Structure 1
Amino acid sequence: MSTPTVRAFVLTAPGEASVQEVPAPVAVPGEVVVDVERVGVCGTDVEFFTGEMTYLHEGHSAYPMRLGHEWAGTVSAVGDGVDPAWLGRRVMGDTMLGDRTCRACRRGAQHVCARRQEVGIRGGRPGALAEQLAVPAWSLHALPDRVDAVLGALVEPGGNALRAAQAAGVGPGDRALVLGPGTIGLLTAMFLRAAGAEVHLMGLGEESLAFARSLGFAHAWTEATLPDEPFDAVVDASNAVHLPALALDVVQPAGRVVYIGISGDPSTIDTRTLLLKDVTAVGVLSASPALEDTIAAYAGGAVDPRPLVAATVGLDRVGAVLAGERIEGAGPGPKTHVDPRGV
């Protein structure tokens, strides 16, 4: 009897990838198999495609690998020890899979477990750019009817953004600045707006700023035009090496700076400025602690990130997307989705 297979996008070396037939995942004890319906392409995926991703050089990841960590789908099989009620449920899943035994995991911070796997990223755990995906049942989050596959695949980036917005600690009467109007920056801006803050965005070019304005963010600037306003919080969602320092310079004394973007080269800040301005600085790595709240925000309509998705493609176009090709007919948003069931 032949082994069942599924189609999957496989990255074999920097700039080298193909869609392959791979063995279909099996629901081992404690895990489920998900029929994948939608996957987001992330900047992290691009870094693996170019070979720049730090994990490759630290031994946490290696080629060949299967990308995809922003996903939604339906559970089609459950392993031993898994509640059969998961069968047929629409779900998304946590990217960070801690060992569940270490001190960090026991303290509820499994997303920083030193021995963690990351779906489609770290530790050899295959990702969701495939027709099917196997993940631990404990990592699943059920999606209500009002959160379709498009929104479901935006929960993971949304969770990162929600944590950044929460860390900013602003509300009505406060002014917040987001550096970098990409997917995470715009999602963060949406959550900050939902909290009642006056939101400003700073970007590089007029195209991205025009899109931000189309989402209702009238205060959209370049670095050259950024007004001399008092910002109670600044969120750096960029990959620019100099912006962590700028964030600290423009935040108000006793304000908060949140770092969720990351540059390819080391960035520096002057801790004298941090101290003398009595600024609180927070780093955000993962969406894990905020996934349920993000699902609730989408379901309740507090935040609608659908306009961020510019195009949806099949597995055969993923390589082109990772190489920076703009999909014909794509909208102005920064995010590309993949439907592994399509061609």
Structure 2
Amino acid sequence: MRALVITGPGEAAVQDVEPPVAAPGQVIVDIERVGVCGTDLELFTGEMNYLRTGRSWYPLRPGHEWCGQVTALGEGVDRGWLGRRVTGDTMIGCGRCERCRAGRHHVCADLAEIGISRGYAGALAERLAVPATALHALPDQVDTTLGALVEPGGNALRAFHGAGLRPGERLLVLGTGTIGLLVALFARSRGVEVHLMGRDAEGLRLARTLGFTGIWTRPTLPATVWHAVVDASNAAELPALALELVEPARRVVYIGLAGTPSTLDTRDLLLKDVTAVGILGGSAGLADAIKAYADASVDARPLVAATVGLAQTAEVLAGHRPDGAGPGPKIHIDPRL
């Protein structure tokens, strides 16, 4: 089958590889759509921290935001999965340790991440092997575009829940990339007053077309009460700003990752009695993200700027924006093309 393989920093190409065979407990999924994520970009450029710690290595087959159809079953898998449209959890725990048994498999000490770590082949390919325990069925109302947005949607929904907001309260989201906009969409659907801060007016244009009116840059940000702040940016200075801006005794949520270490003064955290929440992975949010897409309370499709074939993936990873792409931050890949 065809699959995208990253062989080193800045080096990626479609190769013919052996197709996966379903091991006991696994299924084979024919992939229909894959989202290109910032993590994929860091794996391609070589900037991903996992490459320095040995958790990831080249050659590497990326892709962890996906959907497709189950076409083969391994031993012990319920035959009801055959033919189902599905997406799946990126985080694959051992299933045996205390963390996994308690539902915290996303922080398992032996965690493997599909298309990211421990050599687990990803979805930027024609087919993917995945444990049946990681699958989530997609209802008919969730098309392929939304299906490949479930994984980032789960992350964003966890970030929103981490903010601890009630309807009518005010949220500030730092960053207008895919995750920031998804946090804003989920928050608005739950009755929260949403504001977004971006780098410049151009970057905030899509947020405005999505119907958000609280659109700011740092110089224009109003002095008001922020009942929660979500940092969904990759700017090293914004974690400290989130803490500075949030209302005392409320919450800041950190889901963005900067390329260099971020610092904040824990004295400010303590003296403001602020709760800081870190979000790793969308596991606990996937099911509810699917429900929100299915009932149309959240429509994330405008975030996808273009869908291209597998052969164009290396160009996308190298920073090329497809001709005719819309304003959204997300590029999708159809491995069938």
TM-score tier (shorter): over 0.9
1:66 aligned counterpart, secondary structure? coil
TM-superposed CA distance for 1:218, in Å, is: 0.8
TM-superposed CA distance for 1:172, in Å, is: 2.2
Match of 1:93 among 85, 88, 91: 88
Q: TM-score, normalised by structure 2?
A: 0.99
The answer to whether the aligner puts 1:17 opposite 2:17 as a matched pair is no
Residues 310 and 332, structure 1, Cα contact 8 Å, conserved in 2: yes
Which deviates the most, 164-173 or 34-43?
A: 164-173
**Mapping of residues 1-343 of structure 1, within 5 Å:** 6-342=1-337
TM-superposed CA distance for 1:267, in Å, is: 0.5
**Identity, % of aligned positions:** 65
Residues 159 and 290, structure 1, Cα contact 8 Å, conserved in 2: yes
TM-superposed CA distance for 1:273, in Å, is: 1.0
Q: Distance in 2 between matches of 1:193 and 1:273?
A: 29
1:19 aligned counterpart, secondary structure? strand
Residues 75 and 87, structure 1, Cα contact 8 Å, conserved in 2: yes
Q: Unpaired runs of 5+ in structure 2? A: none
Q: Distance in 2 between matches of 1:257 and 1:197?
A: 16
Q: Distance in 2 between matches of 1:187 and 1:244?
A: 19
Deviation by residue 1:84-127 (Cα, 9 ceiling, x = unmatched): 11110000000000001111111110000010110000111100
Q: Distance in 2 between matches of 1:60 and 1:172?
A: 41
TM-superposed CA distance for 1:171, in Å, is: 2.5
Q: Distance in 2 between matches of 1:242 and 1:100?
A: 37
Q: Distance in 2 between matches of 1:184 and 1:266?
A: 20
Q: Distance in 2 between matches of 1:151 and 1:272?
A: 42
What is the match of residue 3 of structure 1?
none
TM-superposed CA distance for 1:153, in Å, is: 0.5
2:336 aligned counterpart, secondary structure? coil
Q: Distance in 2 between matches of 1:208 and 1:337?
A: 20
Residues 170 and 195, structure 1, Cα contact 8 Å, conserved in 2: no
1:45 aligned counterpart, secondary structure? helix
Q: Unpaired runs of 5+ in structure 1? A: 1-5
Aligned residues: 337
TM-superposed CA distance for 1:142, in Å, is: 0.4
2:204 aligned counterpart, secondary structure? helix
Shift >6 Å, 4+ stretches: none
2:220 aligned counterpart, secondary structure? coil
Partner amino acid, structure 1, of 2:131: P
Q: TM-score, normalised by structure 1?
A: 0.97
Residues 176 and 231, structure 1, Cα contact 8 Å, conserved in 2: yes
Superposition RMSD on alpha carbons, in Å? 0.7
Deviation by residue 1:249-268 (Cα, 9 ceiling, x = unmatched): 00011111000001111111
1:144 aligned counterpart, secondary structure? coil
1:207 aligned counterpart, secondary structure? coil
Q: Distance in 2 between matches of 1:141 and 1:58?
A: 31
Q: Distance in 1 between matches of 2:166 and 2:334?
A: 37
Partner amino acid, structure 2, of 1:78: L
2:218 aligned counterpart, secondary structure? coil
Partner amino acid, structure 2, of 1:114: A
Partner amino acid, structure 2, of 1:90: R
